Structure 1
Amino acid sequence: MRWSRPLTSTDWLLEVRASIERGPHPRSAYRPGASIATGRWVHQLGAWHSAQPYTGEAEGWAHAVRQAGAHSVSIGKLHFRSTDDDYGFTESLLPMHVVGGIGWAQGLLRNPLPSYPEAAEMGAEAGIGPTPYTDYDQRITDRAVEWLAANAGGERAFAAFVSLIAPHYPLSVPEEFFAPYRDLPANTPGIKPDISPQEITHPAVAAMADFFAYHRAMDTPTADLARRAYFGLCTWLDHNVSRILAALEASGATDDTLVIYTSDHGDMHGNRGLWAKSYMYEDSVRIPMIIAGPGVPMSAVVDTPVSHIDIDPTVHQVMCGGSGGAESLVDVAHNPRAERLGFSEYHDGGSITGSYAVQLGLWKYIHHVGYRPELYDLDDDPDELVDLGESAAHAQVRNDCLDALRSIVDPQAANDAASASQAALIDKLGAPAKLSTQFRINHTPAPAG
């Protein structure tokens, strides 16, 4: 989702945009997953998989904020290992962690890929009405509003990480938020249902599509319902963000607070017949990134690629007196440039090999270790429908993109390290048969309360 092409136009979203759009919103933001906490890439952390949750051992911005004497509070979903770990916050309210301190261990099985019948839940749960996740979001928002009212206007500096669930599936939302999309036309811009998973020719992508197979529980009416519910969940999210920003405004701290609005990943929501995350296509890998606050240019749209690793130096710069030489989001806002690399990587469940994406100018290059690459011209082909990965005329472009990728990571070495790490974890947790039967999960249950 990009603010330059919003799919929603409700009052709640307009309120959120009016509150946040004083700052720049880059059009190109990429997601390196767990790197939000530390400002380091997945391959630098060795956090290859959902069953390797963050423990706080590699310290991040929350530790630095606490060490600087400020509040560092988390409210909501974390997906770290356990509340027993020191992951940096002075307090964690309503945290959601991975199940049993392990998480989705079934996804460690990548060769061969197991069956994943839990994927059918996405279609079965699509509909209208509240879910444990929307109830959890309500509690997170209420607690965030309370916390800001009690703390934001005080003398002690603070960093509040408020983490909501929406629009994560289950794809069901209360009627009030579903209603604006009830009559949404099937040809809504951005939806590309004309490609089916059976038409996917790349072996690595096809294997992932066959593993997750959300489409098998999605006939056309169910898919249309799921999309409408997804858009409704985005509006539900906007409603809650609006409440949080209003609480910040009421505290009197808005003018002294840097606000960062982002998401952990996108969603295919039926494009190419695919659902959820994990793929290297724009629907999945692109995220919103909006900042507003002191020293930030107002109402600017920035085309420079940014990612989650830019959050850590931003917090250090604002809260701790310096970014340690790394470029912050505020720096990028003042010095936008097209040649900055966008990067993402994936080594998790459903993949038969490590996959990487880099954006180099207008070019989007996807590298699958051991398989042919993909290449797209995002200016002429923003939907990534014309794969130039084997085009003789674009051989030099691919070489340039591969060099750019290797300036960040050795893809083969990282793939080998991920495989070895995951094999060791399989040995530790039990035989593949045990992982297939005892660690089955589609989404983490919301915490009680």
Structure 2
Amino acid sequence: MPDHRPSNLIIFCSDEHARRVTGCYGDPVARTPTLDTIARLGTRFSNAYTPSPICVPARASLATGLQVHETRCWSSAEPYHGQHESWMHRLREAGHPVVSIGKLHFRRAGDDHGFDEEIEPMYLANDGAGWVQGLLRDPVPAYDDTKAFSEDIGPGETEYTEYDRRVSHEAVKWLKKYATKFKTRPWCLFVSFVSPHYPLKCPEAYYRLYERAEIPGPAAQPPEHDVLQQMAQFWNYDDHFDDGMRDVARKGYYGLVSFLDDNIRRVMEALEDTGGARDTSVMYLSDHGEMLGSHGFWAKSVMYEDAVAVPLMMMGPGIGEGINSTPVSLTDVATTVQQTVGLEPKPAREPWMSRPLQDIISDPEPDRFILSEYHDGGSPCGITMLRYREWKYVYYANGHAAQLFNLDDDPQELNDLGRSREHERQRDMLRNLMGHAVDPESVSRDAFADQKMLIEKLGGVDALLAMKSFGHTPVG
């Protein structure tokens, strides 16, 4: 019988970890022994997705269990600031200690996100305004900050690697002090690293792990879709690479994944040393993936698997060992946390809404579908993805053609069936299925309307263009 007793919970969150770049997900090169152990001792979800392939909306949905069109945290300039109830609020109100250490990417200090304490937090840049240039989508302007992506690669230290060391240090310190202190109600610790987010530069010892390795090459096919071509011109990172630089950058990324794994190892060993491991569940996830040059894209912002598919695994009391193929989302984390510590989460009215992963482990649902949305920089329209069985359906608002992929037959997404006459019935079926959860045209209009009001509030287009831009959020 499964053990359903409440337990403490550590959630390890990373930033920009593509699911495939993990040993337990089949990468023959990636060295991730800690994550592989968590997966082996618990359940690994083989079809986990982000609700948005960009940090700010994804993290708002992670906190609330709501879809992007429900939080209206559309972009990198429309962050979570406590405007919707979070799982952190629910735990705190019920008397469960709930603490964050590391990157939040919420608006700013002083907002009530629901945590008792936020240690070494990272909030949005520009005093909470975030990356405002992404609000300008009609028309889409030029983006001039992509060259730096290719200039900061290979072995070495960055402010992000130093930050992640502080995060693991503070997590170890917290566990030594509190892991076995709270006797009446289970605690939840959210430990959030920046790695493997770019810059794709990693400490030398981790780069050396891959210096002579043959890193698997990505799907090189450039996009033929008109929206993706426009986005590729905006996010033109690849224009600044040659083949040698691409190899160095990918090795830097793999090194950052191993660096992340090693930081998690330190925290897990500290948990074991406290004697609290048997009463603690552990979850690992990432907010979204990284394209690494696949289809000509680096970073995220598109609906290809490398950007939207995320690693998700959980071990602990009552969590059986195995692989679960039910489509799941980071939105499911909110109810999962509540159920883990012993709270009764609000029941989901519809199958795609936030569901405890424990229930999905006990009763897999291969016919479930999940959603992902993008309403941020570079895109002239709202983009909504639906994953159902073997199908991935991507809807582009404003009359643009849809994309359709059979991921069982075409895992690299090289054969777009969006215009195939033979697959018209599949597209119609998936569009109707999407309509049960969301009207993507209406949602796209809502996003543009909210962003237009925010642009005016910030002083207009010229004011936004004059504001400081950045390739990645600075520490502090």
Normalised to the residue count of structure 2, the TM-score between the two structures is 0.90
> Which range moves more in the overlay, 261-270 or 429-438?
429-438
Answer yes or no: is the 8 Å Cα contact 1:64–1:320 preserved in 2. no
2:262 matches 1:209? no
Residue type at the aligned position of 1:25: R
Cα gap change, 1:435 to 1:53, in 2 (>3 Å):
same
Answer yes or no: is the 8 Å Cα contact 1:60–1:312 preserved in 2. yes
Let me know the Cα RMSD of the aligned residues. 1.3
Equivalent residues in 2 for 1:278-317, closer than 5 Å: 278-298=301-321, 300-317=322-339
Equivalent residues in 2 for 1:258-269, closer than 5 Å: 258-269=281-292
Q: How far 1:259 moved relative to its partner?
A: 1.1
Question: How many angstroms apart in 2 are the aligned matches of 1:15 and 1:285?
Answer: 23
Question: How many angstroms apart in 2 are the aligned matches of 1:244 and 1:78?
Answer: 19
Question: How many angstroms apart in 2 are the aligned matches of 1:142 and 1:8?
Answer: 28
Q: Deviations over 1:394-442 (max 9, x none)?
A: 1111111111211111101100000000000000001212211213121
Answer yes or no: is the 8 Å Cα contact 2:384–2:395 preserved in 1. yes
Cα gap change, 1:426 to 1:30, in 2 (>3 Å):
same
Answer yes or no: is the 8 Å Cα contact 1:98–1:444 preserved in 2. yes
Aligned with 1:359 (options 383, 387, 391): 387
Tell me the equivalent position of 1:170.
199
Answer yes or no: is the 8 Å Cα contact 1:28–1:342 preserved in 2. no
Equivalent residues in 2 for 1:55-66, closer than 5 Å: 55-66=81-92
Aligned with 2:75 (options 24, 28, 49): 49
Question: How many angstroms apart in 2 are the aligned matches of 1:15 and 1:136?
Answer: 20
Tell me the equivalent position of 1:101.
128
Answer yes or no: is the 8 Å Cα contact 2:34–2:264 preserved in 1. no
Tell me the equivalent position of 2:416.
387
2:34 matches 1:5? no
Cα gap change, 1:161 to 1:420, in 2 (>3 Å):
same
Tell me the equivalent position of 2:172.
145
Q: Deviations over 1:256-304 (max 9, x none)?
A: 2121100000011011121001100001000000011111112x01111
Question: How many angstroms apart in 2 are the aligned matches of 1:331 and 1:254?
Answer: 23
Q: Deviations over 1:5-32 (max 9, x none)?
A: 135453xx22332244211111111101
> Which range moves more in the overlay, 313-322 or 104-113?
313-322
Tell me the equivalent position of 1:406.
435
Normalised to the residue count of structure 1, the TM-score between the two structures is 0.95
Runs of 4+ in 1 over 3 A off after TM superposition: 7-10
Residue type at the aligned position of 2:229: A
Find the residue that maps to 1:113 and give its secondary structure. Answer: coil
Find the residue that maps to 2:43 and give its secondary structure. Answer: coil
Answer yes or no: is the 8 Å Cα contact 1:21–1:290 preserved in 2. no
Tell me the equivalent position of 1:254.
277
Tell me the equivalent position of 2:40.
21
Question: How many angstroms apart in 1 are the aligned matches of 2:106 and 2:473?
Answer: 12
Question: How many angstroms apart in 2 are the aligned matches of 1:309 and 1:9?
Answer: 27
Answer yes or no: is the 8 Å Cα contact 1:68–1:320 preserved in 2. no
Q: Deviations over 1:231-252 (max 9, x none)?
A: 0000001001111111111222
Question: How many angstroms apart in 2 are the aligned matches of 1:440 and 1:353?
Answer: 22
Residue type at the aligned position of 1:331: D
2:305 matches 1:276? no
Find the residue that maps to 1:258 and give its secondary structure. Answer: strand
Question: How many angstroms apart in 2 are the aligned matches of 1:15 and 1:244?
Answer: 10
Residue type at the aligned position of 2:312: M
Answer yes or no: is the 8 Å Cα contact 1:341–1:360 preserved in 2. yes
Residue type at the aligned position of 2:320: P
Aligned residue pair count = 438
> Which range moves more in the overlay, 249-258 or 330-339?
249-258
Q: Deviations over 1:95-133 (max 9, x none)?
A: 000011110001100111112111111101112101000
Q: Deviations over 1:145-195 (max 9, x none)?
A: 10011111123421111000000001100110001111222xx435223x2
Q: Deviations over 1:323-344 (max 9, x none)?
A: 2113201111111121111211
Answer yes or no: is the 8 Å Cα contact 2:171–2:191 preserved in 1. yes
Find the residue that maps to 2:395 and give its secondary structure. Answer: strand
Aligned with 2:188 (options 148, 159, 179): 159
Answer yes or no: is the 8 Å Cα contact 1:134–1:166 preserved in 2. yes
Provide structure 1 residue ranges, at least 5 long, that are not aligned to the other structure: none
Cα gap change, 1:163 to 1:7, in 2 (>3 Å):
farther
Question: How many angstroms apart in 1 are the aligned matches of 2:194 and 2:34?
Answer: 20
Find the residue that maps to 1:117 and give its secondary structure. Answer: coil
